[in-house]
């Protein structure tokens, strides 16, 4: 025992080991410093220019729950083919599926020229071909912006801290939980949406919200009619669909909602029958992502409540309502109380939004657990990347607290490495001095296990 204890005084850390230990310590310090800066950076992220999002706050919250997607209906009478339409009705909308979606937000109205102008001014973006320089056509402030490609639409939504809706999100907003044929129900109503009513019609897009009867029960307007709307997805078959199309592999993007444009030369009542089918919420159109059109626009969505909705309200809805003459629209009060009640009514908090729900003492305990995990996780390196996130999700903590727990974890890991480095030389010397005895003991243990294996 005396010889054993003397090792720590007689065998100081060799110069080479000291160099390795110092090198490791410097690297750990650098990594931890950088990691601290990244994790504890303010919630706003990297410094960004302040943009004007004042028109982007008018979104509708769609609550979580199951909904019907697709259909099992078939064009048994080949009506589409008889009208000269090559794709049978419902063909690429099958099969009927039921999904559970988390809550999400979607623009109440299609993106207007006025909203798109703010994006163009903020980023000096390329304007649509029907603009004069950086100015949109006069008098179209509240009409849906058109002549935009899928890329233009996606870039705008990204700038607005949103995304193009997926097909599932768009269809949930349009069909409701029950999977209705149209936003207002299962029966087609002529005149309720901005749709062409006859062959050769010169019908054009109008100001968003002009057709309030077309709104869904949750308050999303113009999902049918006015303009086609880009969504995020490629044109691909639904899962387990038996329909095959040559266009599935053509890298096309999906359009939803139909537009106000003429659909072709269908005689008499056949026109009404065709528009009734084209205007269904489940109907899928497709187009090349880089092909803008005079009747194609878009709206945006978000799976979380955008930051600007939490801090300020949108003036767009008041501007829109004062500019659209409709007896069913009442101009709201401009008082702060009325504005706050409007926001609370139409933009409830997202129940899936992470938020702190533990007292400070709970966070301290979790930080300590993270530190201990950093020490013991050396025994299982595969867990290193996931443990900080696990504790963060368990605590439903905000970014700053997540950063503290992650730092505690890595400091625990660093502590273990430093301790091992400091004692490496002494332990190595012990192993060298007692190599023969350790070999004998190890051989005995192996022999015992061998006998146990032979006799079960």
Residues 317 and 443 in one domain: no
**Does the residue 48 lie in any domain?**
no
- Please tell me whether residues 284 and 426 are part of one structural domain: no
Domain finish residue from 346, 373, 396: 346
Do 68 and 16 belong together in one domain? no
DSSP string of 346-400?
Answer: HSPPPTTS----S-HHHHHHHHHHHHHHHHHGGG-GGGTTTHHHHHHHHHT--HH
For the chain, give the mean pLDDT.
Answer: 78
Strand bridging mode 97-101 / 104-107: unpaired
**51 assigned to some structural domain:** no
Measure the CA–CA gap between 393 and 352, rounded to whole angstroms. Answer: 12
- pLDDT confidence of residue 248: 95
Q: What proportion of the chain, given as a percentage, has pLDDT over 90?
A: 51
Q: What is the pTM of this model?
A: 0.62
| Domain, as residue range, for 264 | 59-346
pLDDT in tens, 106-159: 999 999 999 999 999 999 999 999 999 999 999 999 999 999 999 999 999 999
pLDDT above 70 covers a percentage of the chain that reads 67
Whether residue 29 has pLDDT greater than 70: no
The CATH number assigned to the domain holding 237 equals: 3.90.1580.10
Sheet with 301-302: strands ordered across: 59-62, 104-107, 301-302
Number of compact structural domains in the chain:
2
d(CA 110, CA 121): 19
Q: Tens of pLDDT along 427-453?
A: 777 777 788 888 888 888 888 877 877
Residues belonging to the chain: 456
């Amino acid at each position: 025992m005396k010889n054993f204890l003397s090792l720590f005084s007689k065998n100081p850390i060799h110069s080479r080991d000291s160099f390795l230990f110092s090198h490791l310590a410097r690297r750990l310090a650098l990594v931890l410093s950088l990691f601290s800066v990244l994790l504890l950076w303010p919630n706003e992220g990297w410094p960004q220019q302040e943009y004007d999002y004042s028109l982007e706050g008018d979104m509708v919250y769609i609550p979580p729950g199951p909904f019907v997607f697709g259909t099992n209906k078939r064009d048994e009478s080949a009506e589409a083919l008889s009208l000269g339409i090559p794709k049978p009705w419902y063909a690429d909308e099958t099969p009927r599926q039921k999904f559970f979606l988390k809550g999400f937000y979607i623009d109440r109205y299609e993106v207007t020229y006025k909203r798109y102008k703010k994006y163009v001014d903020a980023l000096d973006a390329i304007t649509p071909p029907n603009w004069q320089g950086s100015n949109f056509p006069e008098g179209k402030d509240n009409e849906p912006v058109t002549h935009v490609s899928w890329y233009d639409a996606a870039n705008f939504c990204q700038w607005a801290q949103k995304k193009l809706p997926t097909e599932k999100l768009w269809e949930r907003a349009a069909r409701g939980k029950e999977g209705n044929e149209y936003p207002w129900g299962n029966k087609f109503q002529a005149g309720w949406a901005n749709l062409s009513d006859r062959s050769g019609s010169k019908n054009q897009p109008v100001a968003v919200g002009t057709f309030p009867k077309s709104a869904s029960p949750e308050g999303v307007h113009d999902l049918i009619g006015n303009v086609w709307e880009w969504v995020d997805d490629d044109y691909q078959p639904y899962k387990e669909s038996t329909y095959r199309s040559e266009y599935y592999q053509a890298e096309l993007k999906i359009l939803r909602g139909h537009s106000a444009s003429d659909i072709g030369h269908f005689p008499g009542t056949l026109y009404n029958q065709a528009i009734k089918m084209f205007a269904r919420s489940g109907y899928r159109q497709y187009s090349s992502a880089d092909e803008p059109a005079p009747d194609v626009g878009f709206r945006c969505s978000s799976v979380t409540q955008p930051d600007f909705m939490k801090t300020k309200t949108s003036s767009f809805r008041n501007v829109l309502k004062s500019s659209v003459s409709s007896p069913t629209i009442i101009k709201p009060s401009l008082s702060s109380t009325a504005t706050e009640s409007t926001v609370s009514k139409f933009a409830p908090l997202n129940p899936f939004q992470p938020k702190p729900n533990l007292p400070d003492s709970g966070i301290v305990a979790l930080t300590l657990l993270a530190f201990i995990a950093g020490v013991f996780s050396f025994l299982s390196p595969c867990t290193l990347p996931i443990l900080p996130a696990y504790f963060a999700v368990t605590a439903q903590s905000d970014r700053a607290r997540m950063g503290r727990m992650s730092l505690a974890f890595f400091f625990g890991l660093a502590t273990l490495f430093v301790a091992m480095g400091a004692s490496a030389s002494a332990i190595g010397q012990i192993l060298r001095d007692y190599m023969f005895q350790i070999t004998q003991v190890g051989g005995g243990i192996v022999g015992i296990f061998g006998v146990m294996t032979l006799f079960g």
